[in-house]
Structure 1
């Protein structure tokens, strides 16, 4: 079947039913506008991501074929049409409109299309449908069209407005959710001590150790006391490995500097008896690592006197805080 027939070259076109009419007539303008509206709805369907909305748009496109067929028919053709717009078709749209309207965020001002591409193309489709409706109303003043045709086209413009708002709300909610998740992720990262940070902490401790001409064991744990990094300098005592680890664990688990515990475990102290628990160390060398006031881990140092251990641990903390 050829695309061109040459029958319309003189400015006329054939209606379903056999009669011919000028292409400039209001009737041709009316069903041509419906064809244009259906095409724009197709554009919207191509952009929209919501599966149910896609299906609704496709359903409308199918019904617009019925509308266009009716408008493109003469009286003889209308009697031959197998399908027409029914009240039930209008009720289906109204049901969707009512259900979606309940989900919408409050509207406090006139909408300006363009917040996102999905809602923008739905608004374009809506305005084209409105223009089609005006053409059909004008034609109705001449031909007395089937009432359901006018009602259906009017509801289509209504549902496109609602769907545009639904999509815009969905995009807004996704954006807000994404922003919140990104913020939460950043906040969570702030609470975590990374391996790279642990390495810098240890390097700072080793530098201070070299100034003291001593070898130490340096241990870094997270805020739950789990090991992140352990470094034993060449001549550090083997026993210092376990002590450094326990100092770091003690500080992280009890959320307190181990040097403070020395007083608290004395007879009459609030933590008296803790010194008997082999899991903990109750003398200096275990220090907390804080970021923005939040404990993110701890460092434990062993290898010298209590004062020397605390000096190296302090250098580790200062290096972390200087980041």
Structure 2
């Protein structure tokens, strides 16, 4: 057996042991020779250190007895990033889950607070507007939002009124039975919160608020009906020009919606009476729009 090891600036060779030992004394001699050979090897040679210890010459020192000892425990015992990757991932997952739980609890608390500040109003006269309903309840406290839902031609319309605090909502319960239009309204605690409108869609200027007064929101539109047919229907039924129409739909819902802007606010008021009329094969539902129909932004073409 031949063994040769090279280190920078130093060469160490072992004796060649071609013959098998015949006695215990010869074995002891060969072991002593190997021990002497290994003592001459340089433990700081680069081939004795992996690439993960680039500064090993500065990280170790020799004790008086010749043993190798770490010079800096923080550096030599520091594990690589891969060693702790599963634990780090677990910590990140735990952190993300905890953050989601906190966000979920915060959202639930916010929603419950909104429900406490909201009342459910039913039996609303078809001529009552959201502004008039909000004015009735403003005597109970500051009204943050008011939404009227349902068929505008039916007394089965209902609304949700949200106050700034729960004191206003409790005071609003006392208004049950108040005549508003031709019918007394019923007021009950709400079981749901008002879904907020995306603020980016709300009017941003006086001009856009005026646009909302000339715009209606139409739902339950037959998918087979084209945009030109919707425009022609409203112009014929309302006797006014439609200046802008946005017809929207997707592959999930069976019907489409539209925002219809008229040249005159009177035409938009007339359009509210079109609820229930058949367009294509579906009875449409028309309500005042809370958002204006903004012109589409054309992106510059790259050449």
TM-score of the pair, normalised by structure 1: 0.29
Structure having the higher helix fraction is 1
Q: Give 1 or 2 for the bigger CA radius of gyration.
A: 2
TM-score of the pair, normalised by structure 2: 0.31
Structure having the higher strand fraction is 2
